[in-house]
Amino acid sequence: MRVLCLFPIFRSGTAKLMLSGAERQFIEICKRWCQLGNEIQVVATDYAKRLCENFGLEVSTLTFEPVKIKLVGFEDLINVQKLCKIINCDKFDFIYCPNESFEYILTSALAKNKCRIPLVAIINQILPEDLYFLGLLKSALSYTQYRRGLTYFQLVPRRLFFVFKKKIRNILIQKIDLIFAVSGYHKKILLRMGIDAHRIYSIPSGIDYHHIRSYERGREYKKFDASFLGAIIPRKGVLDLIKAWSIVVQAKKDAKLVLIGSGQGYYFNEVKKFILKHHLTKNILMKGFVSEEMKYRLLKQSKIFVFPSYLEGFAQAVCEAMACGLPVIAYRLPVFREFYDDNIVYVDVGDVKGLASKILELLKDKPLQKRMRQAGYKIAERYDWNNIAKQQLEIIKRNLQL
């Protein structure tokens, strides 16, 4: 089959590499589809091409550089137009959209109209409040909570435009021919949007389980008490984690936490300020964006994994941590029980003191760590990328009659 893939990450071509779960999923699925004999063409930004090449996806790619000006969010519309201009409708079987974000869905909908072929999309994150205007408005404005004074008000127009984009996104989702919801929880939300059940399949994300297990270095020496893997952004709860760690350090003065993942901007600076202000530089190590080998080495050098995220679709980081043999502590999110059942130590969302307490308890409980480690291996093995890619492809062929 010939697949047209749209990957509109609107960042400068020279920007520091960052990788979301949805972006990783797209790259890994495409790699395996190529191995199965399918032809992939990616239409993307220069930055997105760099990201693909960095993680081993080398396919035919048409690229452009996004505009540098900031227009309260309207620059996304200019970039969508630029991307659509370079799309070549050359006998593709379907369009593959790897993300439910506005720029992905809008670009894919326009490409579907231009090329007259079916559209397949992945829905990784969608919330019940996304269905209602007031819910969207509350969500958009609460995102500015980490800003203060004038910067808060400067962000308001962009966040209001964010509401507009999500409303348009919700309308365009109705036009998708086949949807892979990353969880049953997200499928239920899509059904509430009025999308026909026969167009929605619940297919989880995945990890490279056997590849992760092959990394042995680091297992013999537990250098860190805990680790975190993910972008340093508000919804990942990193400030909650380092606040909890400041409590942990009061009881265990040499406790060490490693943060694996990059960030930028106001929130990232707030995290660094808190670490400096509370004299935690010897207790918290920020590694930034690292290679795959280094990522798994750091995880396997940790005793436990802590993930206080406020919003997740599948949480590849949790699954990767389990594949590395780490017991996991996380906030009580609906999707976690679907995938990981009771093999997570749950904490109520936003309960920083409770988070600190559970960290200290788990670090002391060696028998529980061992039970969670063994159960985690079995859970993580279910979600190998090879299985997920084949499942998606079989459903696409059957439903689109290819």
pLDDT number for residue 16: 85
Residue 392: both structure tokens together: 């998606």
Rg of the chain over Cα atoms, rounded to whole angstroms, equals 21
CA pair distance 338, 182, nearest whole angstrom? 11
Phi and psi of 354, rounded to 5°? -65, -35
Cβ–Cβ < 8 Å for 141, 163: no
Cβ–Cβ < 8 Å for 270, 238: no
Q: Range with the lowest mean pLDDT among 59-63, 157-161, 205-209, 303-307?
A: 157-161
Which tens digit of pLDDT belongs to each residue from 88-127? 888 899 999 999 999 999 999 999 999 999 999 999 988 8
- Asked if pLDDT for residue 136 goes beyond 90, the answer is no
CA terminus-to-terminus distance, the chain:
8
Q: Which parts of 230-311 are beta strand (E)? A: 257-260, 284-288, 302-307
Partners of 42 in beta bridges = 5, 61
Domain architecture of the chain: domains with CATH = 2-206+385-400 (3.40.50.2000), 210-381 (3.40.50.2000)
List, in order, residues 6 or more apart from 364 with CB less than 8 Å away. none
Q: How confident is the model at residue 159 (pLDDT cuts 50, 70, 90)?
A: confident
Cβ–Cβ < 8 Å for 108, 121: yes
- Asked if pLDDT for residue 164 goes beyond 90, the answer is no
Partners of 207 in beta bridges = 384
Closest CA to 339 of 118, 234, 159, 186: 186
What is the residue whose two structure tokens read 């720029």?
103
Closest CA to 355 of 237, 235, 263: 237
Phi and psi of 90, rounded to 5°? -115, 75
CA pair distance 13, 113, nearest whole angstrom? 28
Q: Is the pLDDT higher at 145 or at 226?
A: 226
pLDDT number for residue 217: 54
Q: Is the pLDDT higher at 17 or at 143?
A: 17
Q: What does pTM read for this prediction?
A: 0.88
pLDDT number for residue 80: 92
Residue 263: both structure tokens together: 């960030």
Query: Within 10 Å of residue 380's Cβ, how many Cβ atoms?
Result: 25
Closest CA to 226 of 375, 380, 355: 355
Q: How confident is the model at residue 154 (pLDDT cuts 50, 70, 90)?
A: low
Cβ–Cβ < 8 Å for 273, 193: no
- CA angle (132, 137, 142) in 5-degree steps: 130
Q: How confident is the model at residue 287 (pLDDT cuts 50, 70, 90)?
A: very high
Q: How confident is the model at residue 72 (pLDDT cuts 50, 70, 90)?
A: confident
Q: How confident is the model at residue 68 (pLDDT cuts 50, 70, 90)?
A: confident
Which tens digit of pLDDT belongs to each residue from 195-246? 999 999 999 999 999 989 887 654 557 899 999 999 999 999 999 999 999 9
Closest CA to 169 of 141, 193, 147, 188: 193
CA pair distance 106, 176, nearest whole angstrom? 11
Alpha helices in 278-365 (DSSP H): 292-300, 316-323, 334-340, 352-364
Q: What value does the mean pLDDT of the chain take?
A: 91
- Asked if pLDDT for residue 153 goes beyond 70, the answer is no
- Asked if pLDDT for residue 147 goes beyond 60, the answer is no
In the chain, pLDDT over 90 holds for what percent of residues?
74
- Asked if pLDDT for residue 163 goes beyond 80, the answer is yes
Which tens digit of pLDDT belongs to each residue from 348-367? 999 999 999 999 999 999 99
Cβ–Cβ < 8 Å for 377, 323: yes
Q: How confident is the model at residue 266 (pLDDT cuts 50, 70, 90)?
A: confident
pLDDT number for residue 392: 96
CA pair distance 237, 247, nearest whole angstrom? 16
- Asked if pLDDT for residue 13 goes beyond 90, the answer is no
- Asked if pLDDT for residue 369 goes beyond 80, the answer is yes
